[in-house]
Amino acid sequence: MLKVGLTGGIGSGKTTVGEVFQQLGVSIYASDDRAKALMTENLSLRSGLVSLFGEQAFMNETLNRSYIASKVFSNSQILAKLNTLVHPFVEKDFQAWCMCQTGAYVLKEAAILFESGAYKGLDEVVLVEAPIELRVNRVISRDGSHREDVVARMEMQWSDEKKKGLSDHLIFNDEKSSLLEQVLKLHHHFNQSS
């Protein structure tokens, strides 16, 4: 079974593209959602988070996401430490999930597929790209975020130029090019390659 990465910067439309693949029957592993769940469920990961952020990492047994976000937001070293801590747990969880899948290929969706190094364990990678201004406006409309916050989060991720050099395929999600056509082409390719 082929393992394919699906990535893209904030607001590029990875989840939206993933939903099109899902409609074609492809199983998707949502790394960011699983990472959040593991941070609460996995006791070793929880203790790693407490070592990194202190007891305030949890509040009433619940992950204190706003506290952690405030710590990593302005400190790229702590962000890198958080990613290094979480990545092996997500990787193990992904491998276990793959064992239960039966399709010709699966997709692993992750915002920081390259930044975390997760792309190294995958057969191919699809990068979803969209114009920066469109991405910012999408996130503002979706989350009600402030423009400066979206731009700051964007600046913490690798640029599309850097990501393109490590990607095998590109989906251009500018709301003009047909997503369905681009996805169908890749779906055919992955089915042939598996």
Which one of 3, 6, 15, 35 is in contact with ligand ATP (CB under 6 A)?
15
Return the sign of the alpha-carbon dihedral for residues 142, 125, 165, 82: positive
Q: How many residues touch ligand ATP (CB under 6 A)?
A: 15
48/109 with CB nearer ligand ATP: 109
Angle, CA of 127, 164 and 170, to the nearest 5°? 40
Which one of 35, 39, 127, 179 is in contact with ligand ATP (CB under 6 A)?
179
Determine the interface stretch with ligand ATP among 38-46, 80-88, 119-127, 172-180 (rule: CB under 6 A): 172-180
Q: Does 111 bind ligand ATP (CB under 6 A)?
A: yes
Determine the interface stretch with ligand ATP among 12-20, 67-75, 85-93, 100-108 (rule: CB under 6 A): 12-20
Q: Taking the complex as a whole, how short is the minimal distance between the CB of residue 11 and ligand ATP, in angstroms?
A: 5
Of residues 106, 102, 99, 63, the one with CA closest to residue 82 = 63
- Residues near ligand ATP, by CB under 6 A: 8, 10-16, 111, 138-139, 142, 173, 175, 179
